[in-house]
Chain A
Amino acid sequence: MTCKEAFQEISKYYDGELTNDEKRVLKEHLGRCGHCQIVFDTTRKTIELYCEGELFPMPEVVRSRLHQALRRKFEQKAT
């Protein structure tokens, strides 16, 4: 497996699309290639960072304005 092929396989790995044989080949390549191992680890880390909900909190005032807008909409519909 070349490094270029490994990058594609890493993405497929995170999609759960590799067969056991393909995973074994990828793991063997990662074991031999420090660069690809880092791409593997930091791709996972990239996904994890964007999933970190606490980094993107919704301010209370935003929530409050949303509910005010909704209530105006409910009232419009009722009249």
Chain B
Amino acid sequence: MSSAAAERLNLELAVPGSRRVAAGLNPMDLQQQTLERPESALIAEAKAGNSGAFEELVNRYERKIYRLGLRLMGNPQDAEDVLQESFLKAYEHLPEFREDSRFYTWLVRIAVNEGLMKLRKQRSDKSEPLEDAVDDDGQLMPREFRDWRPNPEQLLGQEQMQALLLNAANTLPAGLRTVFFLRDVEELSTEETAEALGLTAGAVKARLFRARMRLREQLAQVLKRA
């Protein structure tokens, strides 16, 4: 969901809370960033060989890339591997970054490729599909219609909640959950997501719908038992 869409959503149906707050972005961080050197200057310096400038870029995005890896891979060890490999690769390939996309989008693309490659290796001997499976429409029909009250966060501790969310995401094929994380969590546009994953915009939209429906259903089932 784009920020603009989120804004519309807040205005029109009085959705509680803002996505920016939900995403854990501290307004102070944003303020600090504006006082920091502009990203384009850091990229230029890093390309010229200033490793300090590259580390500053890493400082800005390491947490987000770690979270993306954790959500995608489902465990901290693989998330750390994806984090390290992504930034090492980004450093190696920085001269090839043409700055026609956001630096963060470029990083996300590297991290997703690393993650999917790792998942492919891990699952090569399993029957579980990594790519999008052909979905039976029946799977998309919601079966759980209970409201989530009290809020799940109030019901469970942070570690339990994290495990529950990661387990639920892991029940989806990687091709589906990646689209969900890129579009709804990282807030990449449909076009950016399509480019990162080598899909058409239509395929991104179709996968996003399926991912949302299936994740919602999965969480509803688990929360019912929690």
Contact = CB atoms under 8 A, between A and B. Distances in A.
Contacts of A7: 140-142, 213
Interface residues of A, number: 42
A58 B63 CA distance: 6
B165 A49 contact: yes
Interface residues on B, range: 35 or more
Given A39-B145, A58-B62, A65-B84, A53 B23 contact: yes
A42 B220 contact: yes
A54 interface: yes
Interface of A: 4, 7-8, 11, 13-16, 23, 27, 34-35, 38-39, 41-56, 58-59, 62-63, 65-67, 69-71, 73-74
B67 A11 contact: no
Given A38-B147, A50-B180, A70-B91, 15 more contacts: A11-B208, A11-B209, A14-B212, A43-B213, A43-B216, A47-B185, A47-B212, A51-B24, A52-B24, A53-B24, A54-B24, A56-B66, A58-B83, A66-B58, A66-B87
A62 B66 contact: yes
Closest 10 CB pairs of A and B: A53-B24, A16-B5, A58-B66, A11-B209, A74-B51, A56-B67, A35-B145, A46-B216, A51-B22, A51-B23
B209 A8 contact: yes
Q: Is the interface of B mostly helix, strand, loop or mixed?
A: helix
Contacts of B140: 7
B22 A52 contact: yes
A56 B212 contact: no
B213 A54 contact: no
Contact of A51 (B5, B12, B62, B185): B185
B146 A67 contact: no
A43 B219 CA distance: 10
A65 B80 contact: yes
27 contacts: A7-B140, A15-B1, A15-B205, A16-B4, A16-B8, A23-B12, A27-B13, A38-B147, A43-B212, A48-B19, A48-B22, A49-B165, A50-B181, A50-B184, A52-B23, A55-B161, A58-B63, A58-B67, A59-B76, A62-B83, A66-B58, A66-B83, A67-B55, A69-B88, A70-B55, A73-B91, A74-B91
